[in-house]
Structure 1
């Protein structure tokens, strides 16, 4: 039987390696992706846990206790027999309490990342590997389904629209994607220069409801200047799905390996999984956008204008009712000092 994808190859390899060894050690099988002898499917005994092993010719490893672990998996250095003695092996190993389905999805994703960046140097590849594992830690910590809910789907699509705008007006892709802090739970979505851009998106056919998550999010006494970018989306057959939006951005950055690596990590932090791409069926068209610079007259709640007894707030404003001038993204980036 011909195996159709990485998931099937990994599962088949793990089945072939299953056993009941009493002594501690590894059983491994080379897998086809990532170059010769770079990737192995394995099982660690006596626990019989599934693993993905990545071989590096020469990298500087942190101590084992500083490597990612938890959420159903552990990363550690693996000592193989003499057949693997020419490489430094790092194992991504499922813990006994971890979900096999989720671990398989994680391993498949890591294989895809290593395959995509197979031409990168060893140090870069190693750091990509660790960054991806840490992004998975964050993803697993959030729990829930592997698919974003409708509001989060709209929010992510809108943030990617603004990311595309930022690049199109002249900011280098690595700088732009590094500035995208929304998936990392930043107070604002993009931190640029001394200030920030916060993105609000809606697919509502009436009004422009925008939820503000905290008293700090639109407070330009903390970060200045702050711009609020609103992206209106329409659901239409001629639009793009979220995975298509992601694919177009990856294509835009296809020559920028650093930017691509950061983008993929941010997407996972945001809750987007390529393995779940077929479950996103809504198609969005950009129906309009506006960018406001926050000033004293802008309607918002901050710590300075609410009673001291109010410690936290989450509220909604309607951007369609705001009369502040739309300054556009290019002007915002000039004011932030990141383009000339």
Structure 2
């Protein structure tokens, strides 16, 4: 018998603990059971009647303020006086074997490493939480939005240069529109749909700022593996590579915006889908011909009724409006004063 590595951050000493197969048999038998672990301070493993819950009591001199960050593990204080203990338990049978190893690990930290009970439980919980934490990848809508902004960034850089283009890109943390070009503010809206239907999240998202023109750039993407298609990681690499060659001082800003979107380089392999433009980008001026909903659109309600509107979200169909990227009017809408 010797050391055995578990999914926790330290090995457990298997010479001190009842073998899992024996503990599992007690669970199947359905009888209440107590299994002391030899050492000091006192630690007792337990099984409730019917084998519905297993756990451990870690005896201590004071009550604990610990709470569990994991939904399947419960922590509470039990007993009083010299019988005070911190109870750690789970009622999920699918986790019993792993949780048994968890309890043994905490016991070793308390009895062998002489760690305080709270510290031993906290450290083991932290290591297990880190091991099972799911990687948070970009949602489909965020991926689509970022893809569209990067494609438009490359378009802008081809017209006014990389330094000015990156300065114009406001990123997701800004309260400004997506791009503040010299002549026009721009909201970039991207979709994977067959129509230019875009989700608008508030009354003010498409409201021009005083003294500034506003345009929407509509980006339609579709899945594909043919010529011209690329994945999000490939597009990011292309943007960074070109910006580095043309205006090295802009790379830090680009990376900052990517991070704010939730991008992490180590996740690149998780984004394998490739996309290309379904149709050229379109530029649509936000003017009287653009069917947006802004506060002025609801002025007829009166101030009392308008004040009761907490949130407005809507889908905007831009098919057939504005000008496509392959026309001179596209550049005129966005870049000419």
TM-score class, shorter-chain normalisation, is 0.5 to 0.7
TM-score (norm 2): 0.54
Counterpart residue number, 1:189: 178
Counterpart residue number, 2:147: 157
CA contact (8 A) 2:191 2:198 kept: yes
State the SS of the aligned residue for 2:278: strand
**Is residue 231 of structure 1 aligned with residue 219 of structure 2?**
yes
CA contact (8 A) 2:283 2:334 kept: no
Counterpart residue number, 1:259: 250
Do the aligned partners of residues 196 and 301 (structure 1) sit closer, same or farther apart at CA in structure 2, a change above 3 Å counting? same
Distance (Å, rounded) in 2 between the aligned partners of 1:284 and 1:232: 10
State the SS of the aligned residue for 2:172: helix
Q: In the TM superposition, what is the alpha-carbon distance from 1:246 to its structure 2 partner?
A: 0.2
Counterpart residue number, 1:212: 200
User: Superposed, which structure 2 residues align to 1:50-199 within 5 Å?
Assistant: 145-169=135-159, 171-193=160-182, 195-199=184-188
Distance (Å, rounded) in 2 between the aligned partners of 1:216 and 1:97: 47
Q: In the TM superposition, what is the alpha-carbon distance from 1:182 to its structure 2 partner?
A: 3.3
Counterpart residue number, 1:292: 284
Counterpart residue number, 2:192: 203
CA contact (8 A) 2:187 2:215 kept: yes
Q: In the TM superposition, what is the alpha-carbon distance from 1:234 to its structure 2 partner?
A: 1.1
RMSD: 3.2
Distance (Å, rounded) in 2 between the aligned partners of 1:102 and 1:198: 39
Do the aligned partners of residues 261 and 295 (structure 1) sit closer, same or farther apart at CA in structure 2, a change above 3 Å counting? same
Distance (Å, rounded) in 2 between the aligned partners of 1:262 and 1:247: 15
Counterpart residue number, 1:137: none
Distance (Å, rounded) in 1 between the aligned partners of 2:236 and 2:179: 18
State the SS of the aligned residue for 1:229: strand
Do the aligned partners of residues 294 and 191 (structure 1) sit closer, same or farther apart at CA in structure 2, a change above 3 Å counting? same
Consecutive unaligned residues in structure 1, runs of 5 or more = 1-14, 16-95, 104-142
State the SS of the aligned residue for 1:245: helix
TM-score (norm 1): 0.53
CA contact (8 A) 1:147 1:276 kept: yes
User: Superposed, which structure 2 residues align to 1:241-260 within 5 Å?
Assistant: 241-255=231-245, 256-260=247-251
Q: In the TM superposition, what is the alpha-carbon distance from 1:144 to its structure 2 partner?
A: 8.4
Distance (Å, rounded) in 2 between the aligned partners of 1:197 and 1:247: 24
Runs of 4+ in 1 over 6 A off after TM superposition: 96-103
Higher RCO (C-alpha under 8 Å, 6+ residues apart): 1
Q: In the TM superposition, what is the alpha-carbon distance from 1:157 to its structure 2 partner?
A: 0.3
Do the aligned partners of residues 191 and 99 (structure 1) sit closer, same or farther apart at CA in structure 2, a change above 3 Å counting? farther
Consecutive unaligned residues in structure 2, runs of 5 or more = 1-9, 11-122
Distance (Å, rounded) in 2 between the aligned partners of 1:102 and 1:329: 51
Q: In the TM superposition, what is the alpha-carbon distance from 1:209 to its structure 2 partner?
A: 1.8
- Number of residue pairs matched by the alignment: 203
Do the aligned partners of residues 305 and 248 (structure 1) sit closer, same or farther apart at CA in structure 2, a change above 3 Å counting? same
